[in-house]
Amino acid sequence: MANPVVLVADDDVAMLQLMVRRLEKQGLEIHQASDGREALEKLENISFDLVVSDIYMPGVTGLELLQQAKEADPQTQVIIVTAGATLENAVEALNNGAFAYLVKPFDHYSVFDNVVARSLQFRQALLDNERLAKIQQRRGDMLEEEVTDRVQQLQRRRRELLDLLASLPDGVLVVEPGGRVVTSNPSADIWLAKDRSDPDHPIHKYLESLHEEWAASEWEIDLGGTSLELIMRPLPKTTTAERKVVVIKEMGKQEEKPILDLPWKEIEGSLEWLMSQPVDEAVSTRIKALRDLFRDLKIKVGGPGVRISGFAPQWSELTISKSSGTKDTGKENKAVEPAEAVVEEDLKSEDAARGE
C-alpha cells in the first residue's frame, strides 16, 4: 500500500521545516509550499490524503485551501495551524470540514504527531466505509437482478400455464372452500355461464361440497341436456387456503362404425376365379384393376364388425367365353360387355335398390 501523501503549507520557514521533519518520521510522502498561492497550485495538480496549513498566508488563506481541498476530494483531511488563534476562526475551520485546529507553537511535538496519525486513520476509515458501501450496493444490485430474473421466470411460467389451460378442450377450475373459483380456463367459463342459467346449478352445488369429507372425487351431472363428468383432485397444500382442481369433461356418445355387410371372401374368390379364366388381355387388365381396388377397400373398411350390404355383383352367375365372347346366365346368350360396364351396371342396380 502506498504511503499517504501530505501537503504542508506555511509562510513561516522555520515552522514549515519543523512540521516536514515530524511528518517524514512517520514515513509520509511530503509536498511543501511556502505560501498559499503555491499550495493552491499543488492542490490543483496532486491528490492529497492530508493537508496541513497555516491559516494566515499571503495570496491564499488556509481556510480557502480547506475549501478547495474538500471540493477536490471530500475525504481529504485538513489540519489548520495558526499562531494567532481566535474562537471564530476555529469554529469556521471545523464547520468547513477541518479535522483539527492547532495552535503553534505546539505544547509538545507528540500533540502534532498524534493529530496527524488520527486524521489519516479517520480518512482510511472513511475510504473503507465507502468501499464497503459500494460492495454492498453491488451485492444489492446483483440480488435485485436475481430477484427480478426469478420474478420474470415465474411470470413466464404463469403465462405458459395460462396458455396451456386456455388450449385445453376440457374445463379446468381451481376451487377454494365454499366453492370459490380462483382460476378457470375459457372452457370452464363456458360451463359456469351455463350453470348460472340453469335453475338447479349442478356445477355450483358440486363445487360447494368439494371440501367436505364426503365429497366425491368423480361426479356426473346433467346440464341443459348435456352429460358432464366432474373430476376432482387436491392440490399440494400451501400457506393459503386448501385448493382443489376440478376438470369438467363432456360425456359425448362414442362414434359407431357403420354396419356394413360385405361378403369379402365371396367377392375375392370371384375376382380370383375371373383372373383365371381365358379372357382377352383387355378384360383381364380391367379385372385385375378391379381386384386391386377391392383389396384397397378391404384394408380401409374391412375391420371386425364392419359389413357392407349388397355391394358385390353375383359373380357366380357370370361365365366368360373367350371363343364365343358371350356370358352364360342360363338364359339366352348375349354379347360380352366390357368388365367396367358390367361393374358400372351392377353399381347402378345397387344404387336403385338403395333408393338413390
Is residue 313 situated within a structural domain? yes
The residue from 250, 277, 298 where one domain ends is 250
Q: Pick from 95, 128, 161: which residue ends a domain?
A: 128
Residue 134 included in any domain: no
What is the number of structural domains in the chain? 3
Q: Is residue 259 part of a domain?
A: no
Report d(CA 173, CA 354) in Å as an integer: 50
Residue 133 lies in a domain: no
Whether residue 281 lies inside any domain: the answer is yes
Angle, to 10 degrees, between the axis of helix 281-301 and the axis of helix 264-275?
160
Q: Do both 302 and 228 map to the same domain? A: no
Whether residue 216 sits in one domain with residue 180: yes
Q: Clarify whether residues 50 and 84 are in a common domain.
A: yes
120 plus 57 within the same structural domain: yes
Domain that holds residue 229: 169-250
Supply φ then ψ for residue 266, to 5 degrees: -65, -45
Q: What is the pLDDT along the chain (356 residues), one digit of tens a residue?
A: 578 999 999 988 999 999 999 999 999 999 999 998 999 999 999 999 999 999 888 888 888 999 999 999 999 999 999 887 677 878 888 888 899 988 888 878 889 999 999 999 999 999 999 888 888 888 888 888 888 888 888 888 888 877 877 888 899 989 988 888 988 899 999 999 999 999 999 999 999 988 888 888 899 999 988 999 999 988 887 666 788 899 999 986 444 444 445 566 777 777 777 777 787 787 778 888 887 887 777 676 654 444 444 444 433 333 333 333 444 444 444 444 444 444 455 445 545 554 54
In CATH, what number is assigned to the domain containing residue 194? 3.30.450.20
Helices (H), 73-108: 87-95
Query: Model-level pTM greater than 0.85?
Result: no
CA distance linking residue 128 with residue 116, whole number of Å: 19
Do 104 and 173 lie in one domain? The reply is no
DSSP state of 34: S
89, 45 contact by CB (below 8 A): no
The CB density around residue 9, as the number of other CB atoms within 10 Å, is: 27
Write down the residue that cell numbers 490524503 correspond to. 49
Domain membership flag for residue 19:
yes
Kindly state whether residue 138 falls inside one of the protein's structural domains: no
